[in-house]
Chains A and B, each alone.
Chain A
Amino acid sequence: MNSENHQLLLRLGDDALILSQRLSEWCGHGPALEEDIALSNIALDLLGQARSFLTLAGAREGLNRTEDDLAYLRSDREFRNALLVELPNGHFGDTIMRQFLFDQFALLRYECLAAQRFDLDVAAISAKALKETKYHAEHSAKWVIRLGDGTDESHEKIQESLNTLWVYTGELFEPDTVTSYCTNNGLISDPDQLKSQWLESINLVLEEATLSLPSSEWMQCGGRNGIHTEHLSYLLAEMQVLQHKYPGAKW
């Protein structure tokens, strides 16, 4: 079992799981009934992706861990999701901007992973995830445009969301041994290339949304190594409560 491969699966699984958990908090609280349903759909897609990747990670590591063991019995220091996806929902604009920045990244990542032939299990999961992500990316981009080019109030709000979230986007393209493993084996393009493609696609949308890219160069990283924001521990405390309270119980 190659540890970079394991790390990759955890990154993919944890990104999807934690973002799904955040989106599911919206269920029953959306700005319109139709949008409530849309956010739940996206949360469900992400949850499905998370389950596939975590199941594969568990099967390959040879420790007999299931998707639930990995989701419910790891501590926040063992999670490998990007910081971006664990941030609190904030208002609808914050949620949409977080989703947009992530979707555009996920789209590029899944395009690579679905096309490669080095890891066929990952390719199969990614091919399905890619279809779902195309829809998510369309949904979030359309909303960024509506809010950016909507009312003065919405413009101001969503620009503020972008400014706040921006520092968490660098981590998505941070090079390390896992990204080298991915690049060397043709799994995912190298981070620099990915980043320039990503910038190109988000710029198209931000321009239509009349929003401007923040100038901040400094980026907050850490999630890929298990150094998270303070928010993740609370998220996990909530998510894992029953598994901790009743160890070994079947539900």
Chain B
Amino acid sequence: MVQEMDLLKRFDAYIDSDQKIEAKDWMPDAYRKTLIRQISQHAHSEIIGMLPEGNWITRAPSLQRKAILLAKVQDEAGHGLYLYSAAETLGVNREELLDALHKGKAKYSSIFNYPTLTWADMGAIGWLVDGAAIMNQVPLCKCSYGPYARAMVRVCKEESFHQRQGFQIMLNLCNGTKEQKEMAQDALNRWWWPSLMMFGPNDESSMHSAQSMKWKIKRFSNDELRQRFVDMSVPQAELLGLTIPDEQLKWNEATGHYDFGPIDWSEFEAVVSGNGPCNRERLATRVKAHENGEWVRAAAAAHAAKVAKRKSLKTDAA
């Protein structure tokens, strides 16, 4: 029997030499738990994230936009599925993870607790929310856990059209009528700050960051990624002719970055802990879909069992 200490040494050596950990390899419990928490939160975010955009599929203003939006929201279901699958390699099953979500014990990205009020929100979500998500996700393609890293490679490959279609919606609105441009500005005003919050708390107050960095589950700090996002978005907003709702936003020659105003962390805390504008509704919608699907899942399982039984009776008789 290999001793726990030796196993830990070998695990650390793997991590240090940038080798991937695979599903059946020995890993410290805390590493496993961290991964399950992070991957399932990520999966939940994908399927809850279907709802704010799904809200506009039936009202998309052209057939082409409808097709694009439907394909995009469908991709999110796919991403949720890839991620649940990655989590399942760690010895939990999807049903347990969903159960935790439905009982309010699991978290998901707070951004999806904001309402989508106009069509321009489809543009802002693609441009900003998917933009922020991509920034968060690209480094995860190199994360130390193999199944998660591979799922993320797939996700990132597919995500690249999401941000572009969002930006194009914004572009069309900004080149459109006065009302359309106002709609775009209003969407930017409402989605800008929540998008910055997507990178999580400041580094000094981030609970899980240090250990996750060490384990190479996380590769850049929250603040680093947030800064990158701001630096990327400012010229894009200028291109659109829109104003980012931050009076303190200013280019800093010395640092080579944009300085930006303080984030309202009390709002972040409130939304994370369940008091955002749509928390209850989003969760209730998911629970309802799951409960309404129960008889369907049961029927398919029962049918599969019947067919298997008939087959084995036939084989026995032969």
| A28 to B304 Cα, complex, angstroms | 25
Is B58 on the interface with A (CB-CB < 8 A)?
A: yes
Is B300 on the interface with A (CB-CB < 8 A)?
A: yes
A92 to B296, Cβ gap below 8 A? yes
Q: Tell me which residues from 65 to 121 in chain B have a Cβ below 8 Å from any Cβ of chain A.
A: 65-67, 70-71, 73-74, 77-78, 80-81, 84, 119
- Tell me which residues across on chain A come within 8 A of B289, comparing CB atoms: 28-31
| A146 to B172 Cα, complex, angstroms | 46
Is B302 on the interface with A (CB-CB < 8 A)?
A: yes
Q: Tell me which residues from 27 to 50 in chain A have a Cβ below 8 Å from any Cβ of chain B.
A: 27-37, 40-41, 43-44, 47-48, 50
Given contacts A241-B59, A251-B172, contact A40 B65 (CB under 8 A): no
Task: Find B78's partner among A37, A51, A146, A241 (CB 8 Å cutoff).
Answer: A37
Bitwise, A213-251 to B at CB < 8 A (1) or not (0) is 000000000000000000000000011011100100111
Q: Is the interface of A mostly helix, strand, loop or mixed?
A: helix
A33 to B77, Cβ gap below 8 A? yes
Is A194 on the interface with B (CB-CB < 8 A)?
A: no
| A67 to B67 Cα, complex, angstroms | 13
- Tell me which residues across on chain A come within 8 A of B173, comparing CB atoms: 251
Is A119 on the interface with B (CB-CB < 8 A)?
A: no
- Chain A binder among B176-184, B220-228, B251-259: B176-184
B293 to A151, Cβ gap below 8 A? no
A31 to B293, Cβ gap below 8 A? yes
Q: What's the least CB distance linking B204 to chain A, in Å? A: 37
Bitwise, A149-193 to B at CB < 8 A (1) or not (0) is 111011001000000000000000000000000000000000000
Q: Which residue of B lies closest to A237 (CB)?
A: B59
B63 to A71, Cβ gap below 8 A? yes
| A37 to B296 Cα, complex, angstroms | 16
| A54 to B62 Cα, complex, angstroms | 13
- Tell me which residues across on chain B come within 8 A of A41, comparing CB atoms: 74
Bitwise, A85-120 to B at CB < 8 A (1) or not (0) is 000000111000000000000000000000000000
| A28 to B54 Cα, complex, angstroms | 7
B74 to A25, Cβ gap below 8 A? no
- Tell me which residues across on chain A come within 8 A of B179, comparing CB atoms: 246, 249
B63 to A51, Cβ gap below 8 A? yes
- Tell me which residues across on chain B come within 8 A of A24, comparing CB atoms: 57-58, 66, 70
Q: What's the least CB distance linking A49 to chain B, in Å? A: 11
Is B292 on the interface with A (CB-CB < 8 A)?
A: yes
A68 to B62, Cβ gap below 8 A? yes
Q: What's the least CB distance linking B317 to chain A, in Å? A: 20
| A41 to B74 Cα, complex, angstroms | 8
| A242 to B47 Cα, complex, angstroms | 26
Given contacts A28-B51, A92-B293, A249-B177, contact A21 B58 (CB under 8 A): yes
Is A145 on the interface with B (CB-CB < 8 A)?
A: yes
- Tell me which residues across on chain B come within 8 A of A91, comparing CB atoms: 292
Is B33 on the interface with A (CB-CB < 8 A)?
A: no
Task: Find B298's partner among A51, A149, A151 (CB 8 Å cutoff).
Answer: A151
| A166 to B239 Cα, complex, angstroms | 56
**Given A24-B66, A32-B293, 10 extra CB contacts under 8 A:** A28-B54, A33-B84, A40-B71, A43-B70, A47-B70, A51-B64, A72-B62, A146-B300, A250-B176, A251-B169
A-B contact pairs, 12 of them (CB 8 A): A24-B70, A31-B292, A36-B50, A37-B74, A54-B63, A68-B62, A91-B292, A146-B299, A146-B304, A151-B299, A242-B119, A251-B61
